[in-house]
A and B are shown apart, each in its own frame.
Chain A
């Protein structure tokens, strides 16, 4: 087990959530606005504390992990990055090596790790470009490359597909499925169809509590969607349609 939550809560937005996450697979967290998705992800990433209850990663309480060591195991992708300064794509990717760095200069290993994750995310072609000139889809892949450069065991993504067009949404999720074969991928999403189609497991949150947790077809039923979102949904084979 990688993450184990017991009666996990936060000052706002999360109450008594209990769950166990395996070492690999793609888990999506869905739910209405304010249901506690990002709060939960932030706690898993070690960015929200103090939390109530317990949240263990690899047998150790998240808040007790030394930051650098934790960053070699768990990588977090924010929804978007607002870049004020002219960092190049390669510099942004290399920032993922910080938890391994022992000094001021990058090592050959740092550069090869960066190269490898740029290859995986198909970003090598614009390694020299100013990050601020990238399109939304390119930027998202570069942020993913930076997280992969941490060589993590768990990858946490906050609404990774929000700023992407249809084609990029699908290719991102295909990449996540590929990555999820060897590491745990947890993604917050608003798109139930992406969750239904690509994830191994869906966790549905409602008012800070877990309303459903299981395989996509178990959880994303029209009945539960109606209760949690207040929307009429119909399931056609593997796609959901909604009526207002």
Chain B
């Protein structure tokens, strides 16, 4: 158990050290730290913030994927299943159509609204139905998609281009102050989820199973939904939707490590982060100076790797 977590941490550290050194222009680390232009600017203002954003985004999406699959007991669940990111997308698309510059804020508002609506629908008295949660989330997704199609249809050519780019998702360098806030929330929400890892194990088997062993299932499900939605909403507002990470990283880890959330959650955080950093680095470098949308790479690189894992099925992190 300890070995898997340490190994994941080592992979993450390695990826994070290598990633900012790679890119379309060659830089030297010594010059970057000495404050010599342009190495300094490229390293500290173009690449490093982006690596950190990818790290936090990948970690948040993977942790959310683990939580949602567990509490819905649905292997097809992912961070986008319960509607929050569609809310974020609608917010951003409205902002683009109205010419607002604060798409990030608008998408946060959209995400928060959906979170409240879905939670309001699923809570009945002191109960919370994960079935209603799932159906409400899926319905919100469809409605959001319809709104986006409608607005896209009305939009001007340049707006339409901006909408498409947003919906593709992508990582851009953001301010360090934004990253600091994101880091605080992502680490706090993930730590909260990990603190309840033994209880997640029981919820993954069933509501009655957990409840008859003393777990407060309603409180745990509500906590998982809120933590996962805050993580997803926040990350989506900064990156747009990035597919595949939150679906496949949890499954790949379960194949390798089993289903124990005490191992699964920390490893999802570490390797989810490492995976998105690696994909983003590839997206910046493969056909530089042109960038490939990172969502394309997560699916194109992660897909075959996952299929290979599915075929090999050895329970160990060592390949």
Contact = CB atoms under 8 A, between A and B. Distances in A.
Interface of A: 45-47, 67-72, 74-76, 78, 81-88, 91-92, 95-96, 98-99, 101, 104, 150
A96 B215 CA distance: 11
Contacts of B199: 98
Interface stretch (B45-53, B140-148, B256-264): B256-264
A96 B213 contact: yes
Q: Interface majority SS on B: helix, strand, loop or mixed?
A: helix
A228 to B, nearest CB: 27
B204 A98 contact: no
Interface residues of B, number: 28
A98 B205 contact: no
B260 A99 contact: no
B208 A98 contact: no
B70 interface: yes
A101 B210 CA distance: 14
Contacts of A72: 214
A115 B204 CA distance: 23
B61 to A, nearest CB: 19
B284 interface: no
Given A95-B202, A104-B262, A84 B73 contact: yes
Contacts of B211: 46-47, 67
Contacts of A74: 212
A84 B75 contact: yes
Contacts of A75: 212
B217 to A, nearest CB: 10
Given A78-B208, A81-B205, A87 B258 contact: yes
B279 interface: no
23 contacts: A67-B215, A68-B214, A71-B212, A71-B213, A76-B208, A78-B206, A78-B208, A78-B209, A82-B206, A83-B205, A84-B75, A85-B254, A85-B259, A86-B254, A87-B201, A87-B205, A87-B258, A91-B258, A92-B205, A95-B213, A98-B198, A99-B213, A99-B214
